[in-house]
Amino acid sequence: MTALPVTRDRARRGAALVVAAAALILLILPHVVYPVLALDILAFGLFAVAFDLMFGFAGLLSFGHAAFWGTSAYTTAWLLGHGQSVPVALLGGTLTALVVAVPVGFLSVRSIGIYFSMITLAFAQMLSFLALQWTDVTGGENGLQGLARPGLLGLDFTNSMHRYYFALVVFALGCCAAYRVVRSPFGKTLVAVRDNETRARSVGYSPTRFKLTAFLISAALSGLAGSLFVFGHGVVSLEVVNWRTSGEVVMMTLLGGTGTLFGPVAGAAIVLLLRDVLTTASLPVGVVTGLVFVLAVLFFRRGVVGTLQGFLKARR
Amino acid sequence: MNAQLMLIQVFNGLVNGAFFALLSLGLAVIFGLLRIVNFAHGALYMLGAFVAFALGQAFGLGFWPALLVAPVVVGLLGVALERGLLRRLYGLDPSYNLLLTFGLTLLIQDAIKQVMLTRYAVSSAPYTIPEALVGATNLGFVFFPTYRLFVIGFAVVVCAATWFVIERTRVGAVIRAATENPTVTQAFGIDVGRWVTIVFGFGVALAALAGVLAAPIYSVEPYMGSELIIVTFAVVVIGGMGSILGSVVTGFAVGVLVALGSALYPPIANTLVFVLMALVLLLRPNGLFGLPETK
């Protein structure tokens, strides 16, 4: 019994160390890789964190999360294109993603397993077709380009460094929100529902309601991530609602470590850096990322952070 | 909309429905025995079309032999995939198999894109209609392309044959038994693992067959299966994962409904199938023919 506080103390110190290291890396990141790529890592990182809430903690594999990322991206772009300020555009995007998630979540969380994956994928594809056809708002095949990002509080958003550090603050807020959700009684119940739905129901919880709430939170955070992506680039295209984007966030989460909450950020960094290298080396991106995905599913299901955690636990 | 136009749309819908039916039949057969959703089904459909095209380029192989050879080749690839990769993930959450086949999809599509660009210097290639099926046939109310009529008829025959084999023959009885209860079937001395491989190979061959049939209508293109497969998923959700017959009937029915709907209101063409899916989910969460799913 007396050993317990010491172990907990050590664990806490370890966690603090990891957080400090991660913060340091993110602070110097735009000086290591070019700032737009660094911002992409933040946006996709937050997207993957939001996705892990669904996959890692609620046990539901959504194959249509691009719907929320993309809805928010288009809304953010539209708001910026209509002269709104950056915070309004980010918030507007996030809220729209949340609104879209209500019917999609309501119809999909009643299904489990592979059914859930197919339904979310189908709804995302429907939104993708809408984005293609609703050219007045989305620009169709051309997308929306050259979006103004008015400065804020002395920040000049034409400067990519300024954009990165502003996005870093938003990213940190998003991560705090995700952390709070996972550590709350709600988060614990969610894991209980994931592990044994029947038992959770027998002690009086409504699994469907918990899953729907998780779905909405995840969608809103994915929306926030999508709006950061548009904020970073100043353009939006059909790519944001494409099924490949839905698959990419799954891959990032898996590579980083499913159920580790922040591991997926590392996964996002790996995928984006890999893609950057491949594009500059003009190698077939899909072949290599597809291969990495297949190998990760076969041999590396715990991901970078999951493997690391297992390794540290074994040493202790 | 007058009656003639409606009839034309019904036939157009049946052509689309033929592809939905062949693909969702393959998915249903595979799901029945393996409990996995094969995301790569669309990429393997494309591969069927590509193999037909490549064999034509290399050996001058025509449509008719390709209709047999391409599904066999791609089916054997399916056998290799099941033996080499999918088998390693049985016993885990079925989501991992979905993810694995998603990775394979990216790999296959971009590999074929690369091959088409470097070997043939094209991004998409046309495939000629076999001579016997060129032209149009008088249906009494309209001249309809003969090849498309052939596609409808051929798909109906293949689907009916598959249904017959599974529901009415000894081989089908073994497959149904293995679907119902693999452990007990194994105890009766039947090698379930072998049947899993055969069924997966067969489902993949069906996808490739659909690809060869599609090649003369749509041209051969690396991404020809990627959107079709998602629509097929919606068809599968509408029909439910329960029955072979259900997947075929739903495939044709959705094809016709979407064609009629888009004639009435063209902008809805691409989204109608998803609207149908949402409606079915509201009223019957397990699909029209599906049984309640157990995890």
Residue A68 has pLDDT above 90, yes or no: yes
CA distance A163 to chain B (A): 32
Query: Which residues 184-213 of A have a C-beta within 8 angstroms of B?
Result: none
Looking at every residue in chain A, the average pLDDT score rounds to 85
pLDDT mean over A88-92: 92
Residue A141 has pLDDT above 80, yes or no: no
Residue A315 to residue A288: CA distance in whole angstroms? 34
- As a whole-number percent, the residues of chain B with pLDDT over 70 amount to 98
pLDDT value for A187: 85
Residue A224 has pLDDT above 90, yes or no: yes
Provide DSSP, A101-117. Answer: HHHHHHHHTTS-HHHHH
pLDDT mean over A2-18: 66
**In sequence order, what are the residues at sequence separation of 6 or more whose Cβ sits closer than 8 angstroms to the Cβ of residue A144?**
A74, A77, A78, A81, A138, A235, A236
B100, B236, B285 member nearest A294 (Cβ): B100
**In sequence order, what are the residues at sequence separation of 6 or more whose Cβ sits closer than 8 angstroms to the Cβ of residue A243?**
A63, A64, A66, A121, A124, A125, A128, B226, B230
B106, B275, B295 member nearest A286 (Cβ): B106
B144, β-bridge pairs: B137
Residue B221 to residue B93: CA distance in whole angstroms? 33
- Count the neighbouring beta carbons within 10 Å of the beta carbon of residue A244: 15
pLDDT tens, position by position, B90-127: 888 888 888 899 999 999 999 999 999 888 888 888 88
Find chain A residues with C-beta within 8 A of B104's C-beta: 290, 294
Q: How long a stretch of residues is chain B?
A: 295
Of the two residues A107 and B68, the one the predictor is more confident about is B68
The counts of H helices and E strands in chain A are 14, 0
B99, B270, B295 member nearest A250 (Cβ): B99
Contact B223/A at CB under 8 A = no
- Count the neighbouring beta carbons within 10 Å of the beta carbon of residue B152: 20
pLDDT tens, position by position, B191-234: 888 888 999 999 999 999 999 999 999 889 999 998 888 888 88
A63, A112, A118 member nearest B295 (Cβ): A112
Residue B293 has pLDDT above 60, yes or no: no
B138, β-bridge pairs: B143
pLDDT tens, position by position, A94-128: 999 999 999 999 988 887 777 788 888 888 888 88
- As a whole-number percent, the residues of chain A with pLDDT over 70 amount to 96
Looking at every residue in chain B, the average pLDDT score rounds to 88
CB-CB contact of A217 with A53 (8 Å): yes
pLDDT value for B1: 61
- Substitution target in B98, B223, B258 with the highest count of A β-carbons within 10 Å is B98
Find chain B residues with C-beta within 8 A of A62's C-beta: none
pLDDT tens, position by position, A244-261: 899 889 989 988 888 888
pLDDT band at A7 (very low <50, low <70, confident <90, very high): low
- Substitution target in A130, A287, A300 with the highest count of B β-carbons within 10 Å is A287
Contact B73/A at CB under 8 A = no
Query: What beta strand segments (E) does A101-166 contain?
Result: none
Token pair of B78 as six digits: 């399916």
Residue A279 has pLDDT above 90, yes or no: no
Q: Can you give the pTM of this predicted structure? A: 0.88
Residue B92 to residue A205: CA distance in whole angstroms? 27
Find chain A residues with C-beta within 8 A of B103's C-beta: 251, 290-294, 296-297
pLDDT tens, position by position, A160-215: 888 899 999 999 999 999 999 988 888 888 888 888 888 888 787 888 888 899 99
Residue A227 to residue A69: CA distance in whole angstroms? 7
Domains and CATH numbers, chain A: 31-315 (1.10.3470)
Residue B235 has pLDDT above 70, yes or no: yes
User: Which residue from A100, A110, A103, A38 is spatially nearest to A69, judged by alpha carbons?
Assistant: A100
ipTM score of complex: 0.84
The count of C-alpha atoms lying within 13 angstroms of the C-alpha of B140, restricted to the half-sphere facing its C-beta, is 3
pLDDT value for B294: 47
pLDDT band at A43 (very low <50, low <70, confident <90, very high): very high
pLDDT band at B242 (very low <50, low <70, confident <90, very high): low
pLDDT value for A220: 95
Torsion on CA atoms B215, B210, B89, B177, rounded to nearest 10: -170
B136, β-bridge pairs: B145
pLDDT band at A8 (very low <50, low <70, confident <90, very high): low
- Which among A57-61, A142-146, A281-285, B252-256 has the top mean pLDDT? B252-256
Nearest chain A residue to B31 by CA distance is: A114
**In sequence order, what are the residues at sequence separation of 6 or more whose Cβ sits closer than 8 angstroms to the Cβ of residue A40?**
A229, A232, A272
- Substitution target in B96, B102, B113 with the highest count of A β-carbons within 10 Å is B102
Q: Please tell me the least confidently modeled range out of A6-20, A77-91, A187-201.
A: A6-20
Find chain B residues with C-beta within 8 A of A122's C-beta: 230, 233-234, 237, 274, 277
CB-CB contact of B109 with B47 (8 Å): no
Provide DSSP, A15-42. Answer: HHHHHHHHHHHHHHHHHHS-HHHHHHHH
Taking an 8 Å cut-off on Cβ atoms, the answer to whether A125 and B230 are in contact is yes
pLDDT value for A1: 43
pLDDT value for B179: 81
Contact B291/A at CB under 8 A = no
pLDDT value for A316: 62
Instruction: State phi, psi for A16 to the nearest 5 degrees.
Output: -60, -40
Contact B281/A at CB under 8 A = yes
Contact B119/A at CB under 8 A = no
Residue B15 has pLDDT above 90, yes or no: yes
Residue A120 to residue A109: CA distance in whole angstroms? 9
What does each C-alpha distance from A117 to A286, B2, B169, B203 come to in angstroms? 22, 40, 34, 21
Residue A259 to residue B13: CA distance in whole angstroms? 44
